[in-house]
Amino acid sequence: MTWIILIILMFLLIVLRVPIVFAMGFISIIGIGLNDISLLSNVPRNLFSGINSFTLVAIPLFILAGEIMAKGGISQRLVNFSKVIVGPIPGGLALVVIISSVFFAALTGTAIAAAAAIGGMLIPTMLKEGYDKGFTTSLIASASTIGPIIPPSIVLILYGVMASTSISDLFIAGVLPGILMAAGLIIYSIYIGKKNNYVIKDNKTDLKTFLKYFKDAILALLMPIIIIGGIISGIFTATESGVVAVVYALIIGIFVYKEINIKDFLDILKNAAATTTGIIFLIGSASIFIWYINFESIPNQLINILGFAADNPVLLLLIVNIILLIAGTFIDTVSAVTIFTPLFLPMALNAGIDPVHFGIILAVNLTIGMVTPPLGVCLFVVSSIAKQKVPTMFKHLFPQVAILIVVLLVVTYLPSLIMAPVEMLSK
């Protein structure tokens, strides 16, 4: 089986730090050429058809909205409001990190943006308040993983396009897992807060202070309500919601908070374009890869290789989760979605697993990889902000990752819990 050698070669190239977009495209072209060199004429056609999707327009739009939010003063207002919510609870600033990450996730849909924005604001404050540096940095990295799960989520948009699955349903199904991730980290943070006597100093929690910061943050808090509410009610599609997000963010950043000028806007456009280009190029390469694995009937061959496990949802999901957890340690989330969706989705469908449920499993699993070594991109973002080596986070990081894995198991083996909101809102 030539394809097995080529798949192994692809992962070897990835481990050797060859960009995934080139590794995936290279083995696909080699595989196609070895079968029939005349079929290579399909490569540019498939590359174009893979990115020629109206739904994919949502990705650059949400990236742009996230950049505008980061520059427009939204982050600090969300942090201030979060402080008022947690009040004198032990581990208060740690809870601010988690609550802010939930709010920020609902605005940008990316883990890296949350890690950078919240880390930049709260790391100095937490260290000044006497928080352990390893706990502080690991928690900010772990909390940022909520970003790709709570809608709007670029990961879920990408999966929805590749799996031809309702993005609205994926967004609805992603809310509860994101809340469970936050709840698990909150319980751990309160435990650490009590153990080390971490309490926010000079934090007023009276009604007047609450109303003041709520009024300051209300426009930012309304954004996810408008976006998700519009999608669920059918007022606009997931793609159109990206336009709403950009326009809303611009109005708030320029005319209300007045923290974005012309220079800032040009930088925002440049950053958004650079990020978008990489993702779209990756999607194009993935479309060639999908054509190749379907041509070789690789999903069907994988079903045959797995034998009885392929018909057993419990066992199949256990195997898939183990593979994804390992792969997520050295492949970034977006790239992993483009590689593993076409490989594993046919097996999931064959075992009777709902594609929406499988998409949430995939997203939660792979987002854990953003805080697991050796790649763990969020770890490196936070470590660079804190000027701290990644290994110093491990003491507190491993319990936090364990909590996220428990959530993954709940998401995996309690499908009725995850799918209940989708079924309720689709009636």
Instruction: Give one DSSP letter per residue of 336-393, joined into a string.
Output: HHHHHHHHHHHHHHHTT--HHHHHHHHHHHHHHGGGSTTT-HHHHHHHHHHT--GGGG
Instruction: Give one DSSP letter per residue of 274-303, joined into a string.
Output: HHHHHHHHHHHHHHHHHHHHHHTTHHHHHH
Residue pLDDT tens, the chain, 427 long = 688 888 889 888 887 878 888 888 899 999 988 888 888 888 888 888 888 888 788 888 888 887 787 777 776 777 778 777 776 778 888 888 888 888 776 666 667 777 877 787 788 878 887 888 999 999 999 998 887 888 878 889 889 988 989 888 998 899 899 999 999 999 999 999 888 887 766 666 677 778 888 888 888 778 777 777 787 777 888 788 888 888 888 888 888 888 888 888 888 899 888 888 888 888 888 888 888 888 888 877 887 777 777 788 999 999 999 988 888 777 778 888 888 999 899 989 989 999 999 999 999 999 998 888 766 778 888 888 888 888 888 889 999 999 999 999 999 999 999 999 988 876 5
349 conformational bin, left if phi > 0, alpha if psi -120 to 50, beta if neither: alpha
Question: Rounded to whole angstroms, how far apart are CA atoms 188 and 182?
Answer: 10
Q: Which domain holds residue 300?
A: 2-425
Note the pLDDT of residue 109.
60
Note the pLDDT of residue 173.
93
Question: Rounded to whole angstroms, how far apart are CA atoms 241 and 99?
Answer: 23
pTM of the model: 0.84
Question: Hunting for tokens 């943006």 — which residue is that?
Answer: 113
Phi, psi of 198 (to 5 degrees): -90, 110
Query: How many domains does one find in the chain?
Result: 1
